Amino acid sequence: MIDKFVSKRALKVESYKAESMFKGVALDKNEIPWDLDDKVKEALIERLRSAGFNRYPDSSCTELKKALARYTGVDDGCIAVGNGSDELISVLLQTFIDPGDTIAVLNPTFSMYKIAGTICGGKVWEFDLDSGFKLNTREFISGLKRQNPRLTILCNPNNPTGGCIEAGEIEEILKEAPGIVIVDEAYYEFSGVTASGLLPEHENLIVMRTFSKALGMAGLRLGYMLASPEIIGYFDRIRSPFNVNTFTQTAAIEVLKNTGLVEERVEVIKRERERLASRLSELEGIRCFESRSNFLLIRVPEAGKVFSKLRADGVLVRSYSDPVLRDCLRVTVGSSEENDRFYETLKEVLYEGA
């Protein structure tokens, strides 16, 4: 009954797949395995005592943007923040896309680009990565010239493949791309690769990041973007006025006072990633793709069954229905114990009865 009132665009959208409150080892959402440090929490609680929750939050996020300017080395007039980078994606698509406009994305990539693009009435053009999930930059650029997209979205490192395009290649793409280019650097702290140095020369560039991964604040929802003041101005016009709440702004300011801890944690995850990747690569029948992020994509026979058996044994990973990711599973790199638990359970599932 309600279907007939739903817009044609909304009917086309497939919902984002996410399982919450899993009771076991959750390695499906690319979170880090540790909560905010006690020292950071104490400082946060202290500040919240006088926060005034009866008042709306600072709509301009003034103090947070100053802290972000120090963290990124980018002027605070070139920074905008949102309720998770998911909100940045939606608002940016609403800002730049008219019905019928083309949005260029890689395939496979993070599914929210297509969801948000479809809601805006955009046409999503997907450029296939090769069989090793690498990008052929030259062919991609010729495709961009043919398709003439209003917006190109690159996820770097790419979710779910983990692969990374080097800054030089991003620059080549930027020089040739006809419209706005968004580089989603949600996993930047793990790769160390950023396009932010290209911002002064390229006013069509937007770099997007999140506090949900290395910075450990997925539950508080905060994303930020770096772009020209003109783009920031349009974004601020379209977003909802109080999009980042007081609690989140305060927490982020405290987290940014302790980035040394973030760096230590990132180093642990990177070491764990390499340890897990080399163990997985030794397993017969498994292909593990190179990752610069905090997750690994593996190709495994009968991935659907492996996923269900892992789940039944208390380990949740990410599975896919998309044909391009046939037989693929994505596993977040967790703590050493979680990674061992995943590895041992996977081995049992794969070779049970052998």
Q: Residue 48 is encoded by which pair of tokens?
A: 């919240």
Give the nearest distance from C-beta 311 to ligand PMP in angstroms: 19
CB of 347 to ligand PMP, least distance (A): 27
Nearer to ligand PMP (CB atom), residue 86 or residue 101:
86
Shortest distance, CB of residue 77 to ligand PMP, whole angstroms?
22
Q: Residue 45 CB, nearest distance to ligand PMP (Å)?
A: 23
Task: Tell me the two tokens of residue 32.
Answer: 């880090």
Q: Is 241 left (phi over 0), alpha (psi -120 to 50) or beta?
A: alpha
Q: What amino acid occupies position 282?
A: E
Phi/psi for 128 (5° steps) reads -75, 130
Q: Compare residues 95 and 210 and give the one whose CB is closer to ligand PMP.
A: 210
Output the six-digit token pair for 92: 């940016």
Tokens 């010729």 belong to residue: 142
Looking at beta carbons only, is 84 or 334 nearer to ligand PMP? 84
CA angle 186–162–104, rounded 5-degree value: 70
Closest residue (Cβ) to ligand PMP?
Answer: 84
Hey, how many other C-beta atoms are within 10 angstroms of the C-beta on 102? 19
Identity of the residue, 96 or 110, whose beta carbon is nearer to ligand PMP in the bound complex: 110
For ligand PMP, the closer CB: 167 or 218: 218
Whose Cβ is closer to ligand PMP: residue 194's or residue 212's?
212
Q: Is 15 exposed, middle or buried (0-12, 13-18, 19+ CB in 10 A)?
A: exposed
Least Å from the CB of residue 112 to ligand PMP: 6
Range list of β-strands (E), 213-323:
223-226, 287-288, 295-299, 315-316, 318-319
Q: Are 207 and 79 in contact (CB under 8 A)?
A: no
Smallest distance from the beta carbon of 12 to ligand PMP, in angstroms? 21
Residue with tokens 């292909």: 287
Q: What is the DSSP string of 15-72?
A: PPP---S-SSEE-SS---SSPPPHHHHHHHHHHHTTS-TTSPP-TT-HHHHHHHHHHH
Q: How far is the CB of 228 from ligand PMP (least distance, A)?
A: 21
**Which lies closer to ligand PMP via its Cβ, residue 111 or residue 281?**
111
CB of 167 to ligand PMP, least distance (A): 17
Q: 76 or 86: whose CB is closer to ligand PMP? A: 86
Closest CA to 150 of 184, 176, 122, 173: 122
By CB under 6 A, name the binding residues for ligand PMP.
30, 84-86, 110, 155, 159, 184, 186, 210, 212, 218, 223
Contact between residue 196 and residue 226 where contact means Cβ atoms under 8 Å apart: yes
How does DSSP assign 137-191, residue by residue?
A: HHHHHHHHHHH--SEEEEESSPTTT-----HHHHHHHHHH-SSEEEEE-TTHHHH
Query: Cα separation of 164 and 261, whole Å?
Result: 24
Q: Which is nearer to ligand PMP, 161 or 250 (CB)?
A: 161
Q: How far is the CB of 248 from ligand PMP (least distance, A)?
A: 11
Least distance (Å) from ligand PMP to the CB of residue 67? Answer: 17
The residue among 318 and 341 lying less far from ligand PMP, judged by its C-beta, is 318
